[in-house]
Amino acid sequence: MTISLFTLVSLSACGGGGGGTTVAPPPPPPPPPPTGGIGRNGVAVGTVTDFGSIFVNGVEYSTNAADFTINDSTGDESDLSVGDVVTVRGTIDDNGTTGTADTVTFDDLVKGPVDSVNVDGNSLVVMGQTVRVTVDTSYDNTGGIFNPASLEGVLPDQIVEVSGYFNGTGEIVATRIEPKPVGTQFEVHGTVSNLNNTSMKFNLSALVVDFSPPAAIQDFPSGQISQGDFVEAKGMSIDSTTGELTATIVELESRVPGTEDGDRMEIEGYITRFVSATDFDVDGMNVTTNTGTTFTGGDAGDLGLNVKVEVKGDVDANKLLTADEVDIRRPKVIRIVGDADSVHMNSADTLVILGITVTVDDMTRVEDKRSGASGPLDFADINMPAYIEVRGSVDPDATEPSMLAAVLEVDDADTRVILQGFVETVGTSSYTVLGVTIGTGTGTKFFDENDFEISSGDFFTRANANPNSLVKARWTKSSATTITAEEVEFEVEF
């Protein structure tokens, strides 16, 4: 995206009187356009990927003079973490990669006790809200409360805060899950359904909210809650018998941030309503495209409900975002866990694991998951030896086995090695992924996508019959020059 300021200069020349003719000097040349100047106002909605200022949607925003609002209270940058979804209002430089934030706002989508966890289904339920986890989900491991720092480490009745995006079915797709202490105020966002003004209750998905007095009803123009309103409900307790939230506050909220006619907007999220490629919503924001719209990662035919996108464009007086760029975010299902072979081998933004080149850019979320780690981690600070997990997608432009990292985590040293990716070739007892040959033996266990154990013959028959199957292999690091997997499992793209 390029945004420029130009200064119009008016010049005039005058002639003198008297006995002769005076020729006016030529006007000075106009000043050159700025390089790095501040552009027009705009709004960015996206996931925090790094700090040192704040990185959102690939843009580094200076936050020296920014005001921070964290869950409706005054805060600062230290209250945020990689994976939090924020709204940044400010300006962007004409280089399109740096800007200045005036305000940064964070609001979780749900905060409260976990009802249930479904590891195989990559989901959990928090206060009646279905939360989907993906390779893009970050887990806070401060204090080792999640052990491990993954969905497997989240337990029922733990209090968690979830940041993320709504999808087209009203589920939350988590970008970050963080534990919270007992005594934390519960919060949940959603669309009002089953409103009953007599009993003074309504539903937010499966959660029943009791808004009887003395609950404060805030920011509703009519002073009353209506069916279909998008609200945030807060409370300190859930009835142990009924499972209902006793609300202390119910506040009317907007699905999208306030914008003005002519604002520049960058919004990341899922398509939550889809009529056509020229009429759809991204996380509630109405979007249209035209013949001038540029698509990356796919084309207009790839758009549809629940497709993740990043859209850039201008907002008009009717709150319609006309996209000049649509980036279609393909599923990021490649996963590598192990010791880095090298860091910064080719440039300051690459590393190699299992011989596979991994590219890191401004869209990569970099986290330090090592015990005792505090504060953000910059990729340039990673030194060998390094035990690393990367999750992302195959680099379509590379001529050698390569991936683009969506998430990079540095963790405590371990002997566990994992490679998940699409099968390229299949032999009688081995297969290759991203150029890596993975062998199997008598000790290898094989599983289908539902975690049911299958035979070696069943696995290789399926792998041969279904080219490009997504498969995860796990083994223990050793000095052997060949890889023999301990477990091999079919996976499902999500």
Q: CATH classification of 38-106 is 2.40.50, yes or no?
A: yes
When mean pLDDT is compared across 1-15, 236-250, 279-293, 427-441, the lowest value belongs to 1-15
**Can you give the pTM of this predicted structure?**
0.77
Beta-carbon contacts of residue 314 (< 8 Å; ≥ 6 apart): 262, 263, 264, 265, 321, 322, 324
| CA proximity to 408, closest of 351, 481, 346 | 351
**pLDDT for position 462:** 93
Give the max Cα distance, the chain. 110
Tens of pLDDT along 207-217?
999 999 999 99
H/E run at residue 111: strand 110-118
Give the pair of three-digit tokens for residue 330.
């393909």
CA distance 78 to 376: 9
**pLDDT for position 468:** 85
CA distance 369 to 330: 26
Query: Same topology for domains 38-106 and 186-252, yes or no?
Result: yes
**pLDDT for position 381:** 80
The CATH code for residues 110-179 is 2.40.50.320
Domain ranges for the chain, please list them: 38-106, 110-179, 186-252, 267-327, 334-490
Mean pLDDT score, 8-27: 40
**pLDDT for position 478:** 86
- Domain 186-252 fold is OB fold (Dihydrolipoamide Acetyltransferase, E2P) (2.40.50)
Residue 2 has pLDDT above 70, yes or no: no
Mean pLDDT score, 347-366: 84
